[in-house]
Amino acid sequence: MRAVDIIEKKRDGLELSGDEIRYFIDGFTRGDLPDYQAAAFLMAVFLCGMTRSETVDLTLAMAHSGEMLDLSDITDYAVDKHSSGGVGDKTTLVVLPLVAACGVPVAKMSGRGLGFSGGTLDKLESIRGFRVDLSADEFRALARKNGIVLAGQSMALAPADGKLYALRDVTATVPSLPLIASSIMSKKIAAGANGIVLDVKMGRGAFMATLDDARELAKIMVEIGADAGRDVVAIISDMNQPLGEAVGNALEVAEAVETLRGEGPVDLREHCLAIAGHMLRLAGRGQRFTDAGEARALLEQQISSGAALASFRLMIEAQGGDAAMVDDTSKLPQASIQQPYTAAQSGYIAQVDALAIARAAFELGAGREKKGDPIDPAVGVKVHVKVGSPVGAGDALVTLYASDERKLQAAVSSLDQAFAFSAEPVEALPLFYDVISSR
Ligand code: URA
């Protein structure tokens, strides 16, 4: 077999065999195939697409390109969640302790933020001392002891994805359905999940701008999971406006803690209860948590009893974090400047553009342009309105949390693009659009 023949076949729109895909991915992972051939392969996939069976073969080849995590000594059925990335998306921080408090172990690997999308690891690192770089032994030991652990994606898992993603980033081949689907699913499969809840974001602040595209991505990932013997539920959720109010690392941790206390924004709470409910139902495998109403009541009980917050605190302490910052979120990093951004007119909010809001947080220093750049944990924004909110001229739409006047001005310019007003009442946006399931 020769790599050039595989590239040529894909370039001409023909279907690759499993052997050809495995040959290419294995060779590239080992370093036997050069980046320029992988880049040509990626562009051929980008332009010609892939069939379902090619996408499954690609996913499994990437999943098996490194170690496969086996969690069977910790639980006989591991559940995981993944978000396709959004603005203000601190769901994992709330959902993991909620599910763990119900007695379902969660051992999750998460990523860092790049560009306008935030990363769970960066958010958690705003808690002093919190360690995300756990060894495999520590990861397993904490999962077994506490039923909750959250670490950085191990380099040993799905290394083909890491190498391919770096090439996609610089060859304009990121927004391809089979490449995104195989990238996400290979990591979930390698991380040992039996049941996976996918939160597929749709809208201005998401990879998928339209409902049709989001549905297609969700469907492909559910199909990959089914063919790989995993149970997958994909929920298509709104990302036209930010989730919750806070966008920025420490601000999002504080909001997650408030939500675990039963005090956070309603949309974030509802979103988290829904995702956690699907995780419980998968974990119950038709034996437990079968009634959606009962599962929700059980989750709500974990919030009102303080059990979910206690589970979050346990995870923070176990990984070296300063739990005093959980008990009192005013101890989290604080920005030196707080400034309101006000409505220039009265009316109803017709748009809160998630991308413009993310750009404002980025301008303040909450995100990174390239891998390894430092971020400022204290800065960000809190958005006080949703689509449909009535506002008066001069009302605060946003509070900016900044550490630098110059950056503050750049963030204000981004916010100038974020809002639209209507004289007529505007309907609120739905939280969810669809649920696609392999069962
Ligand atoms: N998230 C991933 O892990 N991979 C992609 O390709 C896109 C989003």
Q: How far is the CA of 155 from the centre of ligand 1 (A)?
A: 15
Distances in whole angstroms, Cα of residue 55 to Cα of each of 51, 58, 223, 341: 6, 5, 10, 46
Q: How far is the CA of 153 from the centre of ligand 1 (A)?
A: 13
**Whether 365 contacts 335, CB under 8 Å:** no
First to last CA, the chain: 38
User: Which of 80, 89, 161, 267 is labelled catalytic?
Assistant: 161
Find the helix packing angle between 3-11 and 35-48, rounded to 10°: 20
Residues of the chain with CATH 1.20.970.10: 3-49
pLDDT for residue 296: 95
Annotation marks residue 413 as catalytic: no
Residue nearest to atom 6 of ligand 1 (CA): 180
Mutate to test the pocket of ligand 1, among 174, 182, 200, 208 (most ligand atoms within 8 A of CB): 174
Q: Can you read off the two tokens belonging to residue 377?
A: 């944990």
Annotation marks residue 82 as catalytic: yes
Annotation marks residue 278 as catalytic: no
pLDDT for residue 369: 77
For the entire predicted model, the pTM comes to 0.94
Does residue 83 line the site of ligand 1, with CB under 6 A?
no
Residues of the chain with CATH 3.40.1030.10: 79-328
**Whether 274 contacts 431, CB under 8 Å:** yes
Residue nearest to atom 2 of ligand 1 (CA): 184
User: Which of 64, 81, 82, 123 is labelled catalytic?
Assistant: 82
CATH number of 3-49: 1.20.970.10
pLDDT for residue 333: 97
Nearest ligand 1 atom, CA 111: 3
Does residue 184 line the site of ligand 1, with CB under 6 A?
yes
Annotation marks residue 187 as catalytic: yes
The CATH class, in words, for 334-422 is alpha beta
Residue nearest to atom 5 of ligand 1 (CA): 180
User: Which of 108, 187, 281, 407 is labelled catalytic?
Assistant: 187
Q: Can you read off the two tokens belonging to residue 349?
A: 């909010």
Q: How far is the CA of 4 from the centre of ligand 1 (A)?
A: 26
Instruction: Give me the average pLDDT of each 10-residue run along the chain (439 residues).
Output: 97 98 98 97 98 95 94 93 93 98 95 74 96 92 96 88 90 92 94 95 92 95 93 97 97 98 97 97 92 93 98 98 98 98 97 97 89 89 98 98 96 97 98 91
CATH match for 79-328 among 3.30.70.3270, 3.40.1030.10, 2.30.29.30, 1.10.10.10: 3.40.1030.10
